[in-house]
Amino acid sequence: MKSLRRARSLPAIALAALVLSSSAATVSGGFWAPGDPEERAAALLADMSDEEILGQLFMLAYPGDSPPELLYAWIRQRGLGGVKIFGWNAEDTTKVAEAVAALQKAALATKRGIPLLIATDQEGGWIRHVKGRTSQTPGNMAIGASGRPYDAYWTAYYIGRELDALGINMNFAPTVDLATRPKSPIIGPRAFSADPESSAALGIAYYRGSRAAGVIATAKHYPGHGDTELDSHGTLPLIGVNEATLWARELVPFRALAAEGVPAMMSGHIAFPRISGDQLPASLSKRFMTDYLRGRLGFRGVAVTDDLMMAGATGPGLALSDAFLLAVEAGNDLLEASRILALDDAAWTKLLAAYRARPAFRARVREAACRVLALKLEYLRPKGKAGLVPDAARLPSRLPDPEGEAFFRGQAYRAVSALDAGDLPWTPRGRLLVAAPFTEFFVAAEAVFPGASTFKFSYRPELAALPAELTAFERALMRADAVLVCVASEAGMDFYERARSLGKKVAVVSVFSPAPLARCKAGDAAVAVYGSSRACFDAGLEALAGQEAAMGRLPLTIPLAR
């Protein structure tokens, strides 16, 4: 690995020269031949066609649970670099494994036999694109609440083992955005905490756990998506911080992970006009992707874009093909898209034309392809061809990971945080009403507070409760002396406040971000868990009742209205 790190420290011009000077004769043995990953990547590149080189930069997705012929055409004709598995592909883990096996077999059967990067978003907690038989985990903010790198490492390790069973070799995690805006609907409990140094330490531990499982970790969303409540899927967030603030706050985890050697980082579709002087997303900005990421942060791995079909990428009035072109010019190496492009899509034809006509762009593409190939050689070659093709018949013994299930349950208990430990235990008297948006919360509550009646309200909308549901809730309150509310958003706190206004004894179990707990009043017991798994519900309810200690600490500052 020392030679790989040494090669990655070469400046871009030297790396391009290495690629251009490699003899085609050295490619004998192809992708699977032994040798230094950077040297093998350069040798492979020297013998590849223009289309095969450019194809390594593309990571495409597909609809449904079975890849269509068009995706296989990309693999056969273009040497496609990777495939992204989204939630709409992944309700059935058996079908995921079958699809990945078919895609990898197609890639291995091509002339070059270069395998695919197969990526997904399996951060844990809130973001779990591959569902089915995979583990439900407490998530990043639970790790921040326990404050233990141990929890970050083993979370990534067990998630990685499950992904490996499915043939998924790249995880778009860890998320190291900060909870700078705790009410953010896009980051929220995906952040470890609001603290830069703690997030950096936990992010490094997460990367190491993923590496131990043989899965490529991807730190995101560079240079930091936490200081906005806008969602870059639907708009381009503008973050008004200056360079000094960004360097000392949002960039701290990314700086640490770059120094640690994280193999990939994802660029975010977020703009910093006070730093760049324009409203171009950082993902498409050479200042952020080359001058900062490669220069100041010293990052030597693969830079992958967030989905270029998000409004944050094309919001500044760009055509999709322009976004792809700018992403490469800025310094990205892997271009993610949430659908399959037509073989003659402008995003392809424009880049291929630029590759053939512009020497500087050609060198940039070759540099990017060399990084992608080296990443594959480092992480995928050791698995061997058979190790890249999942066996769906073996999934029942590997999913959920039996060791991981026990670990994640223990982690849920380590993360429970009390808003005020002096308010625990909560001992309701008389008739108890449990209100929640999750059916499984009622099952968990019955085990701790048997005989309680229940009221289910909608998970959405998130900002305010539905008036009709509040009216129905008031009727249910007439038959209750005490109320326990499961709060997953600001809307949940509307039910808490309505019960309190009617003189009921109220307690809260918060899931996901604990930011809504700022509305709690003095004397009302509240505990925070950070996910919606049964283990999280059990841990929170038992801590509320005093059956277990609330061992975690709130990972962000909550300005209480108490």
- For the beta sheet containing 117-120, the strands, ordered from the edge strand earlier in sequence to the opposite edge, are 302-305, 264-267, 216-222, 170-171, 117-120, 82-85, 58-60, 335-336
Q: What is the pLDDT, as a whole number, of residue 3?
A: 35
Along the 562 residues of the chain, how does pLDDT read in single tens digits?
333 333 333 343 333 333 333 333 344 568 999 999 999 999 999 999 999 999 999 999 999 999 999 999 999 999 999 999 999 999 999 999 999 999 999 999 999 999 999 999 999 999 999 999 999 999 999 999 999 999 999 999 999 999 999 999 999 999 999 999 888 888 999 999 999 999 999 999 999 999 999 999 999 999 999 888 876 886 788 999 999 999 999 999 999 999 999 999 999 999 999 999 999 999 999 999 999 999 999 999 999 999 999 988 887 678 999 999 999 999 999 999 999 999 999 999 999 999 999 999 999 999 999 999 999 999 999 999 999 999 999 999 999 999 999 999 999 999 999 999 989 999 999 999 999 999 999 999 999 999 999 999 999 999 999 999 999 999 999 999 999 999 999 999 999 999 999 999 999 999 999 999 999 998 899 999 999 999 999 999 999 999 999 999 999 888 765 5
How do residues 206-239 score in pLDDT, each as one tens digit? Answer: 999 999 999 999 999 999 998 888 768 867 889 9
Query: Closest Cα partner for 43 from 69, 74, 21?
Result: 21
Q: What is the pLDDT, as a whole number, of residue 230?
A: 73
Q: CB of 155 within 8 A of CB of 535?
A: no
- Distance between first and last Cα of the chain: 55
Q: Which residues contact 321 (CB under 8 A, 6 or more apart)?
A: 345, 346, 347, 349, 350, 351
CB atoms within 10 A of CB 14: 11
Q: CB of 160 within 8 A of CB of 404?
A: no
Domains of the chain are 2-405 (3.20.20.300), 416-544 (3.40.50.1700)
Catalytic residue among 306, 307, 401, 538, which? Answer: 306
Q: How far is CA 537 from CA 90, 426, 433, 488, 531, in A?
A: 25, 16, 16, 12, 8
% of the chain exceeding 90 in pLDDT: 88
- Measured in whole angstroms, the distance separating CA 315 from the mean position of its chain's CA atoms is 22
How do residues 8-36 score in pLDDT, each as one tens digit? Answer: 333 433 333 333 333 333 445 689 999 99
* 306 given a catalytic annotation: yes
| Dihedral over alpha carbons 329, 335, 337, 342 (to 10 degrees) | 80
Peptide bond into 400 cis (omega under 30): yes
Give the pair of three-digit tokens for residue 161: 């083992």
Cα torsion angle, 393, 396, 399, 404, sign: negative
Give the pair of three-digit tokens for residue 54: 């450019």
Question: What is the C-alpha separation between 374 and 368, in angstroms, rounded?
Answer: 10
